[in-house]
Amino acid sequence: DIVMTQTPLSLSVTLGQSASISCRSSQSLVHSGGNTFLSWLQQRPGQPPRLIIYKISDQFSGVPDRFSGSGAGTDFTLKISRVEAEDVGVYYCMQATQFPHTFGQGTKLEIK
């Protein structure tokens, strides 16, 4: 199974500042078809997960452009520019290149 490792596991950010979360996979996430199925999900308190980024860097519909994804192969990053109060929650990376699909442990974002 592909192991997804996120760092840090918690993050305290001042409103208006940026935040960065790293996700590393135990093997390459490049699919045989050439795509890399790495996505990022946000889970606000008491809510189901919500897709924010897919295929490393594509923003899902309705997601503010403050959210951006980057990376390749085994190393990926989610960046949140100008953090707002509504960004509080847990962020997960997820790989869907291979079965079983696997998630990172989650990174809890709070406001300082």
User: Looking at beta carbons only, is 16 or 48 nearer to other proteins?
Assistant: 48
Q: What share of the chain is helix, strand, coil (3-state, %, to 5)?
A: 5, 50, 45
Q: Work out how close the CB of 107 gets to other proteins at its nearest, in angstroms, rounded to a whole number.
A: 10
Nearest approach, Cβ of residue 15 and other proteins (Å): 26
Q: From the CB of 16, what's the least distance to other proteins, in Å?
A: 28
Toward other proteins, which CB reaches closer, 55 or 82?
55
Residue 35 C-beta: closest distance to other proteins, Å: 7
By CB under 8 A, name the binding residues for other proteins. 35, 37, 39, 41, 43, 48-51, 54-55, 58, 60, 90, 92, 94, 96, 99-106
Beta carbon nearer to other proteins, 44 or 82:
44
Long-range contacts of 90-93 (CB under 8 A, 24+ apart): 90/42, 90/43, 91/6, 91/21, 91/40, 91/41, 91/42, 91/43, 92/6, 92/40, 92/41, 92/43, 92/49, 93/4, 93/6, 93/21, 93/23, 93/38, 93/39, 93/40, 93/41
Please identify, using beta-carbon distances, which residue of 14 and 70 lies nearer to other proteins. 70
